[in-house]
Amino acid sequence: MPRHVAVIGGGTIGGGVASIMTPLVDTTIIDRDEAAAQSAASRVRSHVERLMDDGVLSRSQGTRSLARLRVTATFDAWQSVDLVIEALPENLALKQRTLQSIQPLVARQAVWATTTSALPLREITRAAVAAERVVGMHVFVPVESTRLVEVVVQYDTARDALDTVRTMAVFTGKATLVARDTPAFFTTRVLSAYLREALLLLAEGVPPRVIDREADLFGFVRPPFQLLDAIGLDVAAAVASNLANYSDPSVHRSLQSVADRGILGIKSGAGFYVYSGSRIVSANPDVQRILGWPSAAQPPRALVRKRLVLGVVNETAWAVHKRVVATRWAADVAGVLALGFPPRTGGPLRWARRRGLARVAAELEELAATRGQRFLPAPFFRLEPAAP
């Protein structure tokens, strides 16, 4: 168990990570932007105060927790740090420079965790002096309340480095999913399939409210366009850019064209919807004007729902087949905890088994014939023979 954690970056991710670390260990937030650093410190204090108000921490425990927090623009005590959590923006060059300049200063056995949702770990660690001590850490927002951390490893990642990050996650109340360093890892890969299908339906003329309603009726925790607005269209566009060679490049173009006009989602007051605070007021006509989707005959609503659901289910099955994650059970847990697949189903693959693998395979083949190769069924669906 680390005794001292250094969090590099006081943004949304860094502030959230520091909030859950401070009640457990000495925590230092390092950010040259004083406003960002102080905002992160304020977030930590608010989180600790909520824990005290809820009775999770006593007043004395809360006071001791806050006494363990340090915020600084410069830091020279790297040898005292057991775990460095780099929480800088999703920028490969920035992450490489930071790793290259700071990892040589930390203790030999210290672990470096780089937060990323899609950047290849192998590319980040090209700048490392000890690549085996570096792991990827995909955390979800809001960090304080989400229930899963995806830990990304390479073939040569040191076992104790992985164990350190997993232990910290468990002590902060989160489950962990270990994913292999492949394009988009597991959660971003499957989530991208969900959002991609929604955007392709939109391009066919299906309004966002209709698509979101069908996702909601199935039981997804967050419908796709509400989710995009919550993530931020600029953030989603940046992730889509990183995946442009792996996924449909039109997804990045659509998101970027909207974000370039300052339509960023909830944080700007408008995305695919117009907001009052976090409450949806109406659909946003500006998005239709920018993207220009047709007023065409719409597919049956049942088909809209089927495409959203089977896109997630099939991508999950392909990820398991390609050993991105070790087990079907882990994929199902992540599907529920991180991706918002309906908890009552037990996860995407359990849902498919209950529906019947042969039946799902037939539905996917039909969609592949009419909608494209992305629906080609994964080998998982051949575990059950087709009915005679």
Residues 204 and 341 reside in one and the same domain: no
Residues 116 and 191 reside in one and the same domain: no
Residues 41 and 167 reside in one and the same domain: yes
Residues 24 and 79 reside in one and the same domain: yes
Q: For the chain, what is the mean pLDDT?
A: 94
- Nearest Cα neighbor of 122 from 182, 33, 71, 201 is 182
- pLDDT tens per residue, range 316-328: 999 999 999 999 9
CA angle 5, 150, 268 (to 5 degrees): 85
- pLDDT tens per residue, range 252-269: 899 999 999 999 999 999
End-to-end alpha-carbon separation of the chain, Å? 56
Residues 311 and 214 reside in one and the same domain: no
pLDDT given for residue 385 in this prediction? 53
Q: Return the CATH number at 223.
A: 1.10.1040.50
Residues 108 and 206 reside in one and the same domain: no
Phi, psi of 338 (to 5 degrees): -110, -30
- pLDDT tens per residue, range 9-45: 999 899 999 999 999 999 999 999 989 999 999 999 9
Residues 161 and 192 reside in one and the same domain: no
Of 70-74, 217-221, 226-230, 383-387, give the lowest mean pLDDT range: 383-387
pLDDT given for residue 387 in this prediction? 44
Q: Report the alpha-carbon distance of residue 184 to residue 174 in Å, rounded.
A: 21
Domain finish residue from 291, 311, 328: 291
Q: Return the CATH number at 169.
A: 3.40.50.720
Residue 296 domain-assigned (yes or no): no
Encoded amino acid at 256, one letter = Q
pLDDT given for residue 242 in this prediction? 80
Strand-pairing partners, residue 177, are 150
Q: Report the alpha-carbon distance of residue 196 to residue 31 in Å, rounded.
A: 34
CA angle 148, 152, 154 (to 5 degrees): 160
Provide the residue range defining the domain that includes 286.
187-291
Residue 194 domain-assigned (yes or no): yes
Q: Strand 148-153 to strand 273-276: parallel, antiparallel, or no bridges (unpaired)?
A: unpaired
Domain finish residue from 291, 317, 347: 291
- pLDDT tens per residue, range 104-118: 999 999 999 999 999
Domain finish residue from 122, 154, 180: 180
3 state SS of 297: coil
- How deeply is 315 buried, as exposed, middle or buried, from its count of CB atoms within 10 A (0-12, 13-18, 19+)? buried
